[in-house]
Structure 1
Amino acid sequence: MTTKNYFPAEETTVLDVGGGLKRKVAAHNDNLMAVEVHFETGTVAARHSHPHEQITYVISGRFEFVVGDETYIVSAGDSLYKQPHIEHGATCLEAGTLLDIFTPHREDFL
């Protein structure tokens, strides 16, 4: 299997997930995935869990995140870690963009 090393922006597609949420899968392989997520103000990412480890880095905007039993108000430069199977969700307080990193990759995003 050949490993792809370069993922030009013009070759990636922004998927309108609906409800004010758009997603663009960036670089990825079997073990790791980067995903750019765009939120409109007021967009809610419902609480959910998955078997992947996840790090979220806030590129812009302001968000309220619930991770397990904790609530955080985050903005540009902040980051969050979500362990496998922990319930989490977010509400966008000011339009912005997140960078989500998953390990292993999210097959359901490809």
Structure 2
Amino acid sequence: MARRTFVDRSQCSRSTIFPGVDVHAAAGEQMMLSFVEIQPNAVVETHSHPHEQVGMVIRGRAVFRVGDEEKVLGPGEMYFIPGGVEHRVEALEEGCQALDVFHPVRDEYL
């Protein structure tokens, strides 16, 4: 995907990373922003990646497990996931939308 200064979500790449979990992503040279939509009760299964990840829930609620910590997050709450740390997310009954920033860019999403 060509990197742009201004990006509409319709211009982003789109990936279904787990059943009921869609990611729309755009990237600069060294970081990437993704809009994540998790359907009600859908799960981002336990995984890890070398990328640092920070994010914020913007709608709905989900149970986040990062390493040995677990917390239900809702709109306006943020999270930090260091590279290499296992994590899992399960949307609650209303589903969840979040924004994620990755460094470096996750090329598999583009």
TM-score by length of 2: 0.88
Superposed structure 1 runs of 4+ greater than 4 Å apart: none
RMSD over aligned CA atoms reads 1.7
- Where 2:33 maps in the other structure, the secondary structure is strand
Matches within 5 A, 1:5-44: 5-17=5-17, 19-26=19-26, 28-44=27-43
| Aligned amino acid, residue 48 of structure 2 | S
- Where 1:10 maps in the other structure, the secondary structure is helix
In 2: Cα distance, 1:15 partner to 1:50 partner: 17
Name the counterpart of 1:77.
Answer: 76
- Distance of aligned partners of 1:16 and 1:68 in 2 relative to their CA distance in 1, 3 Å threshold: closer
- Distance of aligned partners of 1:9 and 1:102 in 2 relative to their CA distance in 1, 3 Å threshold: same
Size of the aligned set, in residue pairs, is: 108
Contact preservation (8 Å) 2:13, 2:109:
no
Instruction: Give, in angstroms, the shift of residue 15 of structure 1.
Output: 3.5
| Aligned amino acid, residue 21 of structure 2 | L
Q: Which runs of 5+ in 1 are unaligned?
A: none
Identical positions, percent: 30
In 2: Cα distance, 1:3 partner to 1:22 partner: 20
- Where 1:7 maps in the other structure, the secondary structure is coil
Contact preservation (8 Å) 2:44, 2:89:
yes
Contact preservation (8 Å) 2:15, 2:109:
no
Matches within 5 A, 1:43-58: 43-58=42-57
Instruction: Give, in angstroms, the shift of residue 4 of structure 1.
Output: 2.9
